[in-house]
Amino acid sequence: MLKVHNQPSLAKRTGLVLFCLLCSVILSAMPLDAVEIEGFGSLIANGGYALQLADEVVLSGNPDTSYIPASTIKVLTSLMALEILGPEYRFVTRFFIDPDKMLYIQGEGDPFLTSEMVTRMAVQLKNSGITEVETIVLDDSAFTLETPPPGSTGTSNPYDAHNSALAVNFNALPFKVTADSRVLAAEKQTPLLPMMEDLGRNYPAGNYRVNVSGFPSGKNHSNILRYSGELITTLFTLQGIKINNGFKKGTTPREARSILVYESEKDVAELVRLCLFFSNNFIANQLYLSCGARIHGFPATWEKAGRAAREYITLQLQLQPEEIHMEDGSGLSTDNRISPAAMLTVLNRFMPYATLMKRQEDTYLKSGTLTGVYCYVGYFGTVGNFSPFVFFLNQMHNNRELLLHLLRKEYLDTFF
């Protein structure tokens, strides 16, 4: 039920209005002018909520019950990345060469290794005097991941993309198929690759972006490394670097000479903004894994990331395991749990970075959606005057947008 905490002056002004507001229901997703008004319980059949004004939680329901947060857990992942890695931290990709002209590319988990970035790497290598190499050796040993991301269902959808220390374009392969069954590149910055032709021949006409891990891998390396290798060799060749014998998987020997340390053009603050704006599962889990590696050392593993998360939650946020349970950094796992009160703690600590969230009308907002899970967390107000809120619905009826609409309207009308 509705709980209004002790704040007499505020209660006098808003108690009746908020009680009437949140004791109203708009069934499912019907238009506002075509619904019957019912009791509050019909709106939130299984869920919790909280609203904080200044330092007071003035509105809450089931605040200490934990729910599946879906992608709203990305706010916690982002907070960890900002505080553990630092907002100005930039991922690096390292290049080495040996006397036999073997070029080693050592990834360290850059979440934003796009086609454009690979082209810029090639330009820098060419400018440093690298014009011919024998073989490109792909070194992804900085991550040791024995399983897919928790919650991944193995589909070809990009949201199911797997993680790696060396991965390009979020492990999502773009291509298009013409009406006469020809497979073509779907974007100008990413050239046609053999992998596109192999996968595209099984698709009807259309434009696609697929998770490369959603298909069987070859014998020599994973589809992740195949995609990385084909893209790197193609773009390097286009920039005038001759590659005699393609690419292969391997580790960098100690005797290899460092020739380039490529810094990502996106720092962690910008990666967080992109992660939250697009709700990108791949970026979120790369950040999550990297936090584990920063605290517990390389190679990054799911276990180290989970351990780092538990330590951060208990030591930094002063919360207990029953208040937050974190299986992955993206929210794809249905084993993630967090209470509305715990999420308010996260939002209060994230407040200096609130503007990294996606802005929707007068609200900074992060949504979370899975089957039977519909969540919103974010802030009303402006910089210096933010009020965090939480809606966790673990039910089949998705009423979050209507509830947010009504609460936003009443909140703005009452306090601004």
Q: What is the 3-state secondary structure (H, E, C) of the chain?
A: CCECCCCHHHHHHHHHHHHHHHCCCCCCCCCHHHCCCCCHHHHCCCEEEEEEECCEEEEEECCCCCECCHHHHHHHHHHHHHHHHCCCCCCEEEEEECCCCEEEEEECCCCCCCHHHHHHHHHHHHHCCCCEECEEEEECCCECCCCCCCCCCCCCCHHHCCCCCCCCHHHEEEEEECCCCCEECCECCECCCHHHHHHHCCCCCEEEEEEHHHCCCCCCCCHHHHHHHHHHHHHHHHCCCEECCCEEECCCCCCCEEEEEEECCCCHHHHHHHHHHHCCHHHHHHHHHHHHHHHHCCCECHHHHHHHHHHHHHHHCCCCCCCEECCCCCCCCCCCEECHHHHHHHHHHHHHHHHHCEEECCEEEEEEEECCEEEEEEEEEECCEEEEEEEEECCCCCCHHHHHHHHHHHHHHHHC
> What is residue 11's predicted lDDT score, i.e. its pLDDT?
39
Indicate if the pLDDT at residue 224 is higher than 90. Answer: yes
414 pLDDT band, cuts 50/70/90, is low
Q: With a cut of 60, say whether residue 22 has pLDDT above it.
A: no
pLDDT at 265: 93
Q: What is the pLDDT of residues 372-407, one digit of tens each?
A: 999 999 999 888 889 999 999 999 999 999 888 777
Amino acid in position 159: Y
The pLDDT, as a whole number, for residue 415 is 58
- Measured CA to CA, the distance from residue 70 to residue 332 in angstroms comes to 6
* The two three-digit tokens of residue 31, written as one number: 């238009």
How much is the pLDDT for 361? 83
pLDDT at 25: 33
Torsion of Cα atoms, 58 then 60 then 65 then 71, to 10°: -90
In percent, the amount of the chain with pLDDT more than 70 equals: 88
pLDDT of residue 3: 34
Q: Directed axis angle between helix 8-22 and helix 400-415, to 10°?
A: 150
> For the residues 124-145, what does the mean pLDDT come to?
97
Rounded to the nearest integer, the mean pLDDT of the chain is: 89
Average pLDDT value for residue range 256-269:
97
Burial of 340 (0-12, 13-18, 19+ CB in 10 A): buried
- pLDDT of 10 > 90? The answer is no
pLDDT value, residue 41: 52
Q: Which pLDDT band holds residue 413 (cuts at 50, 70, 90)?
A: low
The type of residue at 309 is A
pLDDT at 21: 40
**More confident of the two residues 415 and 54:** 54
pLDDT(164) > 80: yes
Q: Which two three-digit tokens encode residue 22?
A: 């949140």
- What's residue 59's pLDDT? 83
Q: What is the mean pLDDT of residues 134-159?
A: 96
Q: Does 19 have pLDDT greater than 70?
A: no
